[in-house]
Structure 1
């Protein structure tokens, strides 16, 4: 992310969102599904832990805001290189660690094969007919799809000049799909379940730029995000064996989260130490990539020895430490290499274009 996009409030929101997702997996999902083994579940799922999955939607809203900033002053190629530099090196490192843990704890029963690992290197394993190395990766695909649409809109000149209209059209299609059409193709390609969240973040930035109509579309995105979240939660009841996801609670949590996000983008907090908060915010990405299956393996091994609470403390501390190491030791140097490679490709392309013909 560009320096201009750093907001201490957003980094705090990232930490809270990823903690909520971990709470969902450790305090609800594994209790219902038994994915961490019989000692760690099934058990009595937590009442509030069930709503932690909404942290992913908060990440989508943050992404809408941050991507809007990161495209400013960039061409599509530079934007793409920046996204690859930010996401791919840490993803490969985290995915490899997950594969090694899966290999070390085969009793969990998670799929693992060389074709699966190689397909996951692309970050788009299902398109190659292979399962994700970790169930949490589905949201990374949604992010990549969002980036792809942004890059395409940048390429045709619509993103910078007509972002408010783009968001409005996206919300209209998403609403129509959810209310009338119900197309699986639209849901997957246009992310209609989460359009309101991405658009909300986009319009927060558009409001900061003073674009006409941005406030009205921001309100529409707010309403659509709440409605879509309630509809999505209704489909989770069957997935989680009849466990309820009360609509009022889901809608209320989403509404509060988006309002807090809007406030966080304006937070002036000199009392926050910029360095540690920034690193913590960036470390939420590898934490998210590692916490689910690696965490389940930890519970499987540790619960019989130190109990559920002790296992949770050790796992959270361990995953947080590894995430910080990946952020400092992998992301930054690898990102420099990727950006350098991108610049080399650009210069070669320019040189080729300038070469005389004949």
Structure 2
């Protein structure tokens, strides 16, 4: 979205969601996994373990924002806009992460030239390489969602059939979670997160006054709860038997989605739009940078300045770098990619006409 079209409430929620994810990684995950070194291994935090749900909130925001982003665009324009928004910042943040990992080999986190080159595509797992940072898994989920949107735009069904698309997706997701339990469906159709994406889509459909959007919105809410509960049930195996309370997970998801539904209607004058918009844009580079660089910071700095000092220094440093990237890099890089995309389109059209 352009700065003028940004919803300030979404930027507020983006900040809250990325803070929750950082809290999860620094207040829970690194204590369980020992990824930040032996000094940080120990008893994990309590509520911090639920911060991972901030990623699901991002998916719901994405469903809403992508519905807006496709309006007035064809599939090619949509693809160029997504690449312009995501790829340049990703490359810079991934490169910074690789540089930090190279300087702190004691962490034992994977980093190498082949891995780096594969990560430049944003699709490293499809090339048989690990992510440069563990947080990147959600980028793959977003790209799969974008790809399906692009396919539906090419098929000319996305614009007028979003409510039905969401409804069918939710039925497939419900069947998969309850009966089929297919790993292929989970990966290809994002069945664990379908409710979140569809919830955002239906919020926008409601704004457009589409018939039955409210009914599908409620179904998406229920499916989001079911997907979150199914995901939480698998986490003890990944985190050394740590307990994740399903009622707490459901309460967090409910709160996140209800807050999203309220904040999309937040009027521009309710918050200082400029600073809030800047903070919202900075959440993307912050998210990309925070996990492994954060582990390196805790590994290196805790012995010198302690846990609290390291946390303050880390958050301040990550915020400054994220603001710098979003304020200096994103706009000119996105403009250059959009111009290149427009040039490719013009060239292709000219060749078609000539033929």
In the superposition, the TM-score normalised over structure 2's length comes to 0.99
Measured in 2, the distance between the counterparts of 1:145 and 1:131 equals 18
SS in 2 for 1:228: helix
Quote how far apart the aligned CAs of 1:279 are: 1.1
Measured in 1, the distance between the counterparts of 2:206 and 2:166 equals 13
Measured in 2, the distance between the counterparts of 1:238 and 1:170 equals 28
Contact 2:32 2:239 in 1 (8 A): yes
User: 1:26 aligned to 2:26?
Assistant: yes
Contact 1:4 1:69 in 2 (8 A): no
Cα-to-partner distance string for 1:271-329 (whole Å, 9 max, x where unaligned): 42211111110100000000000000000000001111110110011011100111011
Measured in 2, the distance between the counterparts of 1:153 and 1:2 equals 24
User: 1:305 aligned to 2:304?
Assistant: yes
Measured in 2, the distance between the counterparts of 1:75 and 1:199 equals 21
Aligned to 1:12: 12
SS in 1 for 2:278: helix
Quote how far apart the aligned CAs of 1:5 are: 4.3
1:122-271 correspondence to structure 2 within 5 Å? 122-271=121-270
Contact 2:8 2:276 in 1 (8 A): yes
Measured in 2, the distance between the counterparts of 1:278 and 1:348 equals 35
Measured in 2, the distance between the counterparts of 1:116 and 1:18 equals 26
Q: Judging changes above 3 Å, is the alpha-carbon distance between structure 1 residues 4 and 152 closer, same or farther for their aligned structure 2 residues? A: farther
Structure 2 regions of 5+ residues with no counterpart?
A: none
Cα-to-partner distance string for 1:45-99 (whole Å, 9 max, x where unaligned): 1111000000000000000000000100000011000000000000000000000
Measured in 1, the distance between the counterparts of 2:13 and 2:61 equals 9
How large is the RMSD of aligned CA atoms in angstroms? 0.8
Contact 1:62 1:198 in 2 (8 A): yes
SS in 2 for 1:270: helix
Contact 2:3 2:277 in 1 (8 A): no
Count of residues in correspondence between the two structures:
355
Aligned to 2:117: 118
Measured in 1, the distance between the counterparts of 2:60 and 2:157 equals 21
Aligned to 2:276: 277
Measured in 2, the distance between the counterparts of 1:304 and 1:146 equals 43
Aligned to 1:335: 334
Cα-to-partner distance string for 1:178-230 (whole Å, 9 max, x where unaligned): 10001000000000010000000000000000000000000000000011101
Aligned to 1:322: 321
Q: Which moved more, 1:26-35 or 1:41-50?
A: 41-50
Measured in 2, the distance between the counterparts of 1:214 and 1:323 equals 36
Measured in 1, the distance between the counterparts of 2:51 and 2:81 equals 29
Structure 1 regions of 5+ residues with no counterpart?
A: none
In the superposition, the TM-score normalised over structure 1's length comes to 0.98
Contact 2:64 2:201 in 1 (8 A): yes
Give the 4+ runs in structure 1 shifted more than 3 A. 2-5
Contact 1:200 1:218 in 2 (8 A): yes
Contact 2:176 2:185 in 1 (8 A): yes
Measured in 1, the distance between the counterparts of 2:108 and 2:344 equals 42
Quote how far apart the aligned CAs of 1:2 are: 3.5
Q: Judging changes above 3 Å, is the alpha-carbon distance between structure 1 residues 74 and 3 closer, same or farther for their aligned structure 2 residues? A: farther
Measured in 2, the distance between the counterparts of 1:266 and 1:186 equals 34
